[in-house]
Structure 1
Amino acid sequence: MNVNIDPRTVGAQVRMRMPLMTPLEARVVNTITGRKDLDLTTSIREVADDAGVSDAMVVKIAKKLGFNGYRDFRAALVSYRESDVASLHAEISPEDSSADIVKKVFNTAMQAIEETMSILDMAAFDRAADLLYAARNRDFYGLGGSAQIARDVSHKFLRIGLRSNIYDDTHMMMMSASLLGPDDVVVAVSHSGSTMAVIEAVTLARQNGARSIALTNYAGSPLAELADVTLCSTAQGSPLLGENAAARIAQLSIMDAVFVGVAQRDFALAETQLSKTMQSVDAKRKP
């Protein structure tokens, strides 16, 4: 493994490529990553026998995950497991006390933020901030929990005088996309990156010349492949919480950073607009 690789990125690298795996390949990955005794002496034969596949299949899967081969994959996993961030996540069990539950939930969120920060593409981040700052219209698409992330960042943009629209209905997204043009930007939020309603709307918006930004948990997802700019979160799920809970925290953090990046492009104006919007609601607060 390249010694310059940040160990925090390894778990994210594996998780983000899992949707690209066949069921057999995914089972093999889960078998390998589930081994508690994995170390630098674990042979490919041991791993292959444990997973019920050939040595060649293990090598193929390691390369599909972005590693040079089995040894590189093994070294990366060992390094990741020794990192502070890997130790944050722990599964919730029926025997957990309230203190255990709080600690585990908070630690999972912190892990998602740490790993997301380690994989965040800074060139994509800057491009997203540039597009949102210069846009005529900023339309946000998302369903369910993803729509709540869109609402949060739209609220922040309004505070500095940048207006945006949020669409969480399939028909409304398509109507919005049909009216967009080259000066407009779509921000599509989808944890899986495979929500058809969002993909169809972004496709139409792009056909009309609009630029698109994807916020998703999977770099290889259809939405990520479609968008002009992709911002990726990463989160390790649990049977009870799923991935979405921790990923939502990471995605909110990404968009908070994007908001600050947009504001920074005209900091003086942002401060002026922020003062205006804050004063407008001061009278609504109880003394």
Structure 2
Amino acid sequence: MNMSFTDPRTVGPRIRMMMPHLTPLEARVVEMILGRRDFDEGTGIKTVADDAGVSEAMIVKIAKKLGFSGYKDFRAGVVDYNRLPTAELHQELSPDDTGVEIAQKVFRTSIHALEETLSILDPEAFERAVGLIFSARQRDLYGIGGSAQIARDVAHKFLRIGVRTSVFDDAHMMLMSAALLGEGDVAIGFSHSGTTTAVIEPLELARRRGARTIALTNYATSPLARTADVVLCSTAQGSPLLGENAAARIAQLIIFDAVFAAVASRDLKAAERNLTATMGAVKAKRRTT
């Protein structure tokens, strides 16, 4: 996955994607640093180490684990990220919030996720995913729980323009589907965490059978991502109440809205013809006033 480290918008997503690879102690240190309101260019490594109760060497190790060259690079990235207009959009819900304030915070969390997801979108991976889906003979979509709902939404979009897909949300059915795929086919795995075994296993099987594989996940280094030929990543800041999935779900739907539009543009006349046909087929089911 290509992520421009010079773009401050990618710093938050980059750190979040690496958090699953940290030890509990390392993750606690990072959360402590990110939670400091006084963290700026003048915050020394000794101050951070003393406050976290760890050595300076540990701070450097964590910074490098997150993909930075060292503490100073990490500090500069976080400071630049915190200066962004969207940095304050993510706010936790409070028992004192009014209904309008709750709505504003939920909307802003999703806005933040969309802004950051766009900033880390890999153009090459996007184009490859579009090409594979457009030219595929068979397109099988795998997801469990909330991810299955995203897969169904994607299937609905594509059916409207005549691009047929099949959605599987049962572990056994996914494996049976994957066993029948081969060259010219595409399997798409949907998993926020990228660690859902029920989705990883059929994607691995599909790949062994010769099919191309696409993953949609929140973590570019997850087991699901490592299984895929092409990885499309969303990113969302966690919330104890809403969880990461709430905002990430919006970002993932928008990613495939873009994929859908790009696939349609590959043969716009056919897409428009099929859209007219499918819309006409359900028109009778709508009541008129």
Q: TM-score, normalised by structure 1?
A: 0.98
In the TM superposition, 1:122-271 aligns within 5 A as 122-271=123-272
How many angstroms does 1:4 deviate by? 7.5
**Unaligned runs of at least 5 residues, structure 1:** none
**Residue 78, structure 1, aligned to residue 60, structure 2:** no
Corresponding residue for 1:18? 19
**Unaligned runs of at least 5 residues, structure 2:** none
Which whole-Å CA distance do the structure 2 matches of 1:258 and 1:183 have between them? 19
Which whole-Å CA distance do the structure 1 matches of 2:57 and 2:228 have between them? 34
For residues 193-214 of structure 1, what are the alpha-carbon distances to aligned partners after superposition, in whole Å with 9 as ceiling and x for unaligned? 0001111111111110111100
Which whole-Å CA distance do the structure 2 matches of 1:90 and 1:6 have between them? 23
How many angstroms does 1:250 deviate by? 0.3
For residues 31-56 of structure 1, what are the alpha-carbon distances to aligned partners after superposition, in whole Å with 9 as ceiling and x for unaligned? 11111110000000001111111111
CA RMSD of aligned residues (A): 1.0
For residues 81-123 of structure 1, what are the alpha-carbon distances to aligned partners after superposition, in whole Å with 9 as ceiling and x for unaligned? 1101111100001111101100000000000000000001010
**Residue 117, structure 1, aligned to residue 121, structure 2:** no
For residues 242-261 of structure 1, what are the alpha-carbon distances to aligned partners after superposition, in whole Å with 9 as ceiling and x for unaligned? 00000000000001000111
Corresponding residue for 2:58? 57
* Contact 2:5–2:11 under 8 Å retained in 1: no
Q: Residue 85 of structure 2: SS of its match in structure 1?
A: coil
How many angstroms does 1:72 deviate by? 0.9
How many angstroms does 1:142 deviate by? 0.3
Q: Residue 198 of structure 2: SS of its match in structure 1?
A: helix
Change (3 A) 1:40 1:239: same
Letter in 2 for 1:234: T
For residues 11-45 of structure 1, what are the alpha-carbon distances to aligned partners after superposition, in whole Å with 9 as ceiling and x for unaligned? 10100110111112111111111111100000000
Which whole-Å CA distance do the structure 1 matches of 2:27 and 2:56 have between them? 16
Q: Which sits farther off after the overlay, 28-37 or 228-237?
A: 28-37
Letter in 2 for 1:34: G
The number of residue pairs the alignment matches comes to: 285
Q: Residue 73 of structure 1: SS of its match in structure 2?
A: helix
Which whole-Å CA distance do the structure 1 matches of 2:126 and 2:5 have between them? 22
Change (3 A) 1:239 1:4: closer
Identity of paired residues, percent?
64
* Contact 1:177–1:204 under 8 Å retained in 2: yes
Corresponding residue for 1:103? 104
Which whole-Å CA distance do the structure 2 matches of 1:191 and 1:14 have between them? 16
* Contact 1:120–1:231 under 8 Å retained in 2: yes
Letter in 2 for 1:237: G
Q: Residue 14 of structure 1: SS of its match in structure 2?
A: helix
Which whole-Å CA distance do the structure 2 matches of 1:25 and 1:54 have between them? 11
How many angstroms does 1:8 deviate by? 1.4
Which whole-Å CA distance do the structure 2 matches of 1:127 and 1:4 have between them? 23
For residues 138-189 of structure 1, what are the alpha-carbon distances to aligned partners after superposition, in whole Å with 9 as ceiling and x for unaligned? 0000000000000001001000001100000000000000000011101100
Moved over 4 A (4+): none
* Contact 2:113–2:237 under 8 Å retained in 1: yes
* Contact 2:130–2:262 under 8 Å retained in 1: yes
Which whole-Å CA distance do the structure 1 matches of 2:208 and 2:157 have between them? 29
Corresponding residue for 1:281? 282
* Contact 2:188–2:215 under 8 Å retained in 1: yes
Which whole-Å CA distance do the structure 2 matches of 1:75 and 1:69 have between them? 10
Letter in 2 for 1:182: E
For residues 60-87 of structure 1, what are the alpha-carbon distances to aligned partners after superposition, in whole Å with 9 as ceiling and x for unaligned? 1111111111111111111111101111
Which whole-Å CA distance do the structure 2 matches of 1:51 and 1:130 have between them? 48
